[in-house]
Structure 1
Amino acid sequence: MFVDMPLAQLREYLPERSEPADFDAFWERTLAETRTHDLAPEFTPVASPLTTAEVFDVTFAGFGGHPIKGWLLLPRQAAGPVPCVVEYQGYGGGRGLPIDWLLWPSLGYAVLAMDSRGQGAGGWRRGDTADPYPGSGPTTPGVMTSGIHDPDAYYYRRLYTDAVRAVEAARAHPQVGAVAVGGASQGGAIALAVSALVPGLACAFLDVPFMCHIRHATEITGEYPYAEIAAYCRAFKEKVEPVFQTLAYFDGVNFAARAATPALFSVGLQDGITPPSTVFAAYNHYAGEKDIKVYPYNGHEGGESAHAMERIAKAGKALG
Structure 2
Amino acid sequence: MPIIDMPMPELLKYQGISPKPEDFDQYWARALAELEAVDPQVELVPSEFQAPQAECFDLYFTGVQGARIHAKYVRPKAAATPHPAVLQFHGYAWNSGDWNDKLAYASIGYSIAAMDCRGQGGRSEDAGQVKGTTLRGHIIRGLDDHPDKLLFRQIFLDTVQLARIVMSFPEVDEQRVGAMGGSQGGGLTIACSALEPRIKRLAPVYPFLSDYRRVWEMDLAKDAYEELRNFFRFHDPLHKREEEIFNKLGYIDIQHLADRIQGEVLMAVGLMDTICPPSTQFAAYNKIQAPKQLEVYPDFGHEYLPGFGDRTLQFMLGL
TM-score (norm 1): 0.92
Give the whole-Å Cα distance in 1 for the aligned partners of 2:19 and 2:105: 37
CA displacement at 1:17 relative to structure 2: 6.1
C-alpha contact (below 8 Å) 1:45/1:56 kept by paired residues: yes
Give the whole-Å Cα distance in 1 for the aligned partners of 2:87 and 2:15: 29
Report SS of the residue matched to 1:190: helix
Which residue of the partner structure matches residue 234 of structure 2?
235
C-alpha contact (below 8 Å) 2:18/2:246 kept by paired residues: no
- How large is the Cα RMSD of the aligned pairs? 1.6
C-alpha contact (below 8 Å) 1:17/1:254 kept by paired residues: no
C-alpha contact (below 8 Å) 2:16/2:280 kept by paired residues: no
Cα displacement string for residues 208-258 of structure 1 (whole angstroms, at most 9, x for unaligned residues) = 000111111122114322121121012222332222111101111101122
Which residue of the partner structure matches residue 166 of structure 2?
170
Which residue of the partner structure matches residue 158 of structure 1?
154
Matched residues, number: 311
Give the whole-Å Cα distance in 2 for the aligned partners of 1:276 and 1:142: 22
Which residue of the partner structure matches residue 223 of structure 1?
222
Q: Matched residues, percent identical?
A: 34
Q: Residues 123-138 of structure 1: matches in 2 within 5 Å? A: 127-138=122-133
C-alpha contact (below 8 Å) 1:85/1:109 kept by paired residues: yes
Indicate which of 140, 148, 155 corresponds to 1:145.
Answer: 140
Give the whole-Å Cα distance in 2 for the aligned partners of 1:222 and 1:47: 40
Give the whole-Å Cα distance in 1 for the aligned partners of 2:54 and 2:210: 35
Give the whole-Å Cα distance in 2 for the aligned partners of 1:12 and 1:20: 22
Which residue of the partner structure matches residue 254 of structure 1?
256
Give the whole-Å Cα distance in 2 for the aligned partners of 1:2 and 1:102: 38
Counterpart amino acid of 1:303? Answer: L
5+ residue gaps, structure 2, are none
Counterpart amino acid of 1:195? Answer: S
Give the whole-Å Cα distance in 1 for the aligned partners of 2:101 and 2:117: 15
Give the whole-Å Cα distance in 2 for the aligned partners of 1:146 and 1:163: 18
Which residue of the partner structure matches residue 211 of structure 1?
209
CA displacement at 1:2 relative to structure 2: 3.4
Which residue of the partner structure matches residue 185 of structure 1?
183
Counterpart amino acid of 2:250? Answer: A
Pair 1:78–1:58, CA change in 2 (3 A): same
CA displacement at 1:82 relative to structure 2: 1.6
Cα displacement string for residues 127-172 of structure 1 (whole angstroms, at most 9, x for unaligned residues) = 1112011124213413221112231111101100111000011112
Give the whole-Å Cα distance in 2 for the aligned partners of 1:297 and 1:16: 26
Give the whole-Å Cα distance in 2 for the aligned partners of 1:56 and 1:15: 40
Give the whole-Å Cα distance in 1 for the aligned partners of 2:166 and 2:150: 25
Report SS of the residue matched to 1:267: strand
5+ residue gaps, structure 1, are 121-126
C-alpha contact (below 8 Å) 1:253/1:281 kept by paired residues: yes
Indicate which of 175, 191, 194 corresponds to 1:196.
Answer: 194
The yes-or-no answer on 1:288 pairing with 2:290 is yes
Give the whole-Å Cα distance in 1 for the aligned partners of 2:48 and 2:192: 31
Give the whole-Å Cα distance in 1 for the aligned partners of 2:62 and 2:16: 37
Report SS of the residue matched to 2:263: coil
CA displacement at 1:33 relative to structure 2: 1.2
Which residue of the partner structure matches residue 94 of structure 2?
93
CA displacement at 1:272 relative to structure 2: 0.4
Pair 1:96–1:119, CA change in 2 (3 A): same
Counterpart amino acid of 2:90? Answer: Q
Indicate which of 254, 265, 268 corresponds to 1:266.
Answer: 268
Moved more, 291-300 or 17-26: 17-26
CA displacement at 1:47 relative to structure 2: 4.2
Give the whole-Å Cα distance in 1 for the aligned partners of 2:131 and 2:104: 37
Counterpart amino acid of 2:301? Answer: G
Report SS of the residue matched to 1:180: strand
CA displacement at 1:106 relative to structure 2: 2.6
Give the whole-Å Cα distance in 1 for the aligned partners of 2:317 and 2:230: 43
Which residue of the partner structure matches residue 123 of structure 1?
none
Give the whole-Å Cα distance in 1 for the aligned partners of 2:281 and 2:31: 26
